[in-house]
Amino acid sequence: MKYVLAGASGFLGTALARDLVADGHQVTRLVRRTPASPDELQWNPTTGQLDPKPLAGADVLINLAGANIGRPWTPTYRKTIRESRVRTTATLAEAAAQLDRKPAFLTQSGIGGYGTDCGDDLLTESSPLGDGFLADVVRVWEGAADPARAAGCRVATLRTGIVLARQAPAFQLLSLPFRLGVGGRLGPGTQYFPVVSLTDWLRAVRHVAEHTTVEGPVNITLPTPITNQTLTKTLAAQLHRPALIPVPAKALTTLLGEFAWELLGSKRALPTTLQTTGFTFTHPSPQQAIAAALTD
C-alpha cells in the first residue's frame, strides 16, 4: 500500500514509518524543509500549502503531527497545541478532498477528548466529548478532517492513550522516578489511566488503515482499563523498585499547571471499535505492556 505520513519525525511517526517500510509498503513523508530524498514531499501546513498531485494513488493519508502537550499551557502555548493539530489535519484533509481516487484518512486524536475527569464512567467511541481545554482541542482537531469526510474519504480519528515504549517521551517521564527509587502513584491513584503498548498502537493503526469498515473515532487503549495505582505498582515491580512515594496532586498542579489534571483525572476508556472489528491485542494487560516497553 502507499501511505502518506505527516508527523513522521516524531516518536510515533518514526516508529510507524519504520514498521510500514519493513513490511514492504511505500511511505511518503511530508516535511516542511526542502526534501532530502525521493520519499519526502514538502508542505507548509501553517499556510495550508500542499500540492495534491503527488498524493495521487495514495491508499492512506495519516496525520500524526502536533506539538507536545506535556508542558505548561500558557496562553501562547495553548494556541500552539491547537493550531499544530488543526492546521496540519485541515491541510491534509483539503488535499485529500481534491483527489479523484479517495484515500483513507487517519488522524491522531486523544483520549483527553472525553473530558478532564470522567470518574468510573466507561468511555466508548459513542460517549460524548467532554469539557476542558484538550476536549475542545479534540473537537476542532477531529472536525478539521471534515473536508476529506465530505468528499467521500473514509475518515478515522485515533483517540490514543499514553503509548508505552522505552523511547517514548511520556514513558520516560513516567518511569524515571521509579528508576531513581522515588516512584509512586500520581495523586489518589484511583483514577483510570489509559495506556497501550507501542506494538499494539502500531498494529491498531495498521488495522484501521486496512479495514474498510472502520471509521469515526477509534479508542486505542488497553482492553482492560487500569488505575494509576495499578500501573505504578506494576512498573515498580518490573523495575524491582519500590512504589512508596506518592506524588501529591498539589505538587503536580504546581509543577505542570492545568496539564496535571490530565494525569489526575480519570478516563476509563475501552477500545470497543477495535475489538468489534476483529482486533486482538498482543499486550492486553498492564504487565505485558510494561514488560514490552522495558525490553523494546
Confidence of residue 172 (pLDDT cuts 50, 70, 90): confident
pLDDT number for residue 41: 97
| Residue written as grid cell 516497553 | 293
pLDDT number for residue 173: 82
Q: Return the C-alpha cell found at 118.
A: 470522567
Confidence of residue 268 (pLDDT cuts 50, 70, 90): very high
Split into its structural domains, the chain has a count of 1
206-251 residue pLDDT tens: 999 999 999 999 999 999 999 999 999 999 999 999 888 888 999 8
pLDDT number for residue 261: 86
| Residue written as grid cell 492486553 | 284
Mean pLDDT value of segment 61-87: 94
CA distance 112 to 125: 13
Give the structural domain span for 57.
2-295
Q: What angle do CA 83, 191, 80 make, to 5 degrees?
A: 10
pLDDT number for residue 286: 92
CB 129 within 8 Å of CB 139 = yes
Of the candidates 16, 30, 19, 31, the one whose C-alpha atom is nearest the C-alpha of residue 58 is: 30
pLDDT number for residue 127: 98
pLDDT number for residue 169: 85
CA distance 227 to 99: 44
CA distance 272 to 223: 8
Q: Tell me which of 52 and 255 has the higher pLDDT.
A: 52
Task: Give the range among 38-47, 244-253, 267-276, 286-295 with minimum mean pLDDT.
Answer: 244-253
The answer to whether residue 70 scores a pLDDT higher than 90 is: no
pLDDT number for residue 295: 87
pLDDT number for residue 253: 87
Q: Return the C-alpha cell found at 46.
A: 501553517
109-131 residue pLDDT tens: 999 999 999 999 999 999 999 99
CA distance 17 to 37: 15
Query: How many CB atoms are located within 10 Å of the residue 14 CB?
Result: 16
26-69 residue pLDDT tens: 999 999 999 999 999 999 999 999 999 999 999 999 999 999 99
Q: 110 has which bridge partners?
A: 160
DSSP codes of every residue in the chain: -EEEEESTTSHHHHHHHHHHHHTT-EEEEEESS---STTEEE-BTTTTB--SGGGTT-SEEEE------SS---HHHHHHHHHHHHHHHHHHHHHHHT-SSPPEEEEEEEGGGG-S--TT-EE-TTSPP-SSHHHHHHHHHHHTTHHHHHTT--EEEEEE-EEE-TT-HHHHHHHHHHHTT----BTTS-SB--EEEHHHHHHHHHHHHH-TT--EEEEES-SS--BHHHHHHHHHHHHT------B-HHHHHHHHGGGHHHHHS--EE--HHHHHTT---SS-SHHHHHHHHHH-
pTM confidence score: 0.95
Q: 62 has which bridge partners?
A: 5, 106
3-state secondary structure 90-108: HHHHHHHHCCCCCCEEEEE
CB 114 within 8 Å of CB 269 = yes
CATH classification at residue 144: 3.40.50.720
Mean pLDDT value of segment 161-179: 89
Q: Return the C-alpha cell found at 121.
A: 464512567
